[in-house]
Amino acid sequence: VQLQASGGGLVQAGGSLRLSCVASGRTLSTYTMGWFRRVPGKEREFVSTIRSSDGRTDYSDSVKGRVTISRDNAKNTVYLQMNSLKPEDTAVYYCAAGNGHIIISELRRAEAYYYWGQGTEVTVSS
């Protein structure tokens, strides 16, 4: 599976962005899809995930209530709608694909995902 993330950009605090992750090579419908982010000098951080087996979604506490993950299997695309953006959301965002049946305790771990996109940069100005 090859993943292509897009939709990043520069936005003012309080604004919105929708990130997209398009897959090629395999259908996304059988994969759990996750979004992670990384700030230079810091560890990669879990943002959100959607499990294919049951549609279960999960969000980090830092984005819960502001971010929505969704998938369009017909378009082989996963989205991350981000609202009320804050300067601390500034990071490079990566989409990733993993087993469709990742257990709940593993959903937030980057090691559970084995395909990764190249990242899209989000900058939120104050």
Q: Give CA 63 to chain center in angstroms.
A: 11
Rounded Cα distance, 88 and 68, in Å: 17
| Residue written as token pair 């995930």 | 49
Which single residue is written with the structure tokens 């971010």? 67
Closest listed residue to residue 38, CA positions, set 95, 91, 89, 110: 91
pLDDT at residue 57 in the model: 96
Q: Which residue is it, tokens 């469709």?
A: 100
Question: What is the block-wise mean pLDDT of the chain (126 residues), using blocks of 10 residues?
Answer: 96 98 90 96 95 94 98 95 98 96 91 95 97
- Contacts of residue 56, defined as CB under 8 A and 6 or more positions apart, other chains included, come to 50, 104, 107
Q: Is 28 helix (H, G, I), strand (E, B) or coil?
A: helix
